[in-house]
Chains A and B, each alone.
Chain A
């Protein structure tokens, strides 16, 4: 009973407001609801039909719920199609908790406001300005551009350039770390070239490692470098977050992911594993990635169990780990 008392005072930021952490249930921690490449909303050949988008996402969230899912994190940040009013309506309608995120990246995906501001010289934004922008979204609410703020962001997510971090990517990472430190929401980093090196950037800001999710650790190069284990040893969360992606040479397949999970559990890092699919509910201006949000719970966890994962560890991975990460400190 003491557990209940403490957990009710702890909350997670969702688009409908703070929710007691113990209510989260099974969480999909790295997914996309509506994902719009910046600028695609102005394209002559792209239609954004909100009613149609709602219908598709509601169906996918309902499927997620029917497979035991209770909470989904839209980890696309603040400038990739995030549509708060749509997410609020979806959450009310489907009963799935929706956590939306702040943050941006990599540099290529940023607007010119952050890269070539109207100053002479046009100095790109430093970490402290990104920290200010993101932290306000976690404390005062996320923005509907030029209109209003809504609910608070539940995660700050940043991404680095694949070929290697740019100076602005580093500012984004440091800004995210400062945001997490100042507001208590977790930071998600999608590494570019080297997961460990880039993780050290956010840890250098004195952010405790257990406030950091490192995404994309099922990338083949990261696996080959032993990054998943090293990230866990450093104390950060290891996100194997392309579950269901079987036909991309850049990533290991589900069977290899399963081996990774079991190895991490065996090494005592079961408390640091997160599983997700990076599925895209509706994609605009890019190729979709149409894996069901329920895929982890309905297909991958049974695979893990058939290979020897205990029920307790499965629950830990699906429920406890994401809850601990998402709980605002």
Chain B
């Protein structure tokens, strides 16, 4: 039972990071029907940017809470700007081109960012400082939870709640959902769809940046091609939850995290990735649109 609870905590921590990254995939898919393959690499980029910002700040500021807060804000802004640039350069010119062209462009953008990171920071892994979040651990009935884990959980859930509120309860959020359903009809409502797409990239990239920073702080080692594996996991999470569906991405991320952690706890971590895809296949067989995805049935 202890192993179960411990792995549940660990899984929720990793899962909430997956969820943050998965949201970027699912939101962009929602409005553009495009898998933004470069999203994972933006996440990797955010870890590197975050590390640079953090090292600069720690020379100037002594309070680690302030350092962390500023690192998050600055990194989110930079990555959001990168996401908007990506959309402008790689996707907007192909808006009316066949779907496959945009997918190829996405793969190309992914390679550009990945190799760009390698050119700037080199091929060897970089390490996040160990003591940036004090290593405080609580023992609750035999189950350990660290301060960093608690931070990851609280911040991720807060951000997801804010996003959910924004999308479902605000005017701009409703316009975003409308644009995802029918872009021309949205234009007829007076919605500037280009602005909505830009907003989607800003939010998705900023959430991805938080995910990238958490990956750096939690696992500490970051490497230039890490966007591939974390991106793939988050992408699988988005599909499991139902691509295009925001609560689906959150659920898919958490589910995948817990699933991975339980496999690692009871079996072996080397099985985690293989069985992730078994899970994906099983879910796709029984629910091809994902757990919360809508059945695509068009009324003529």
A and B physically associate: no
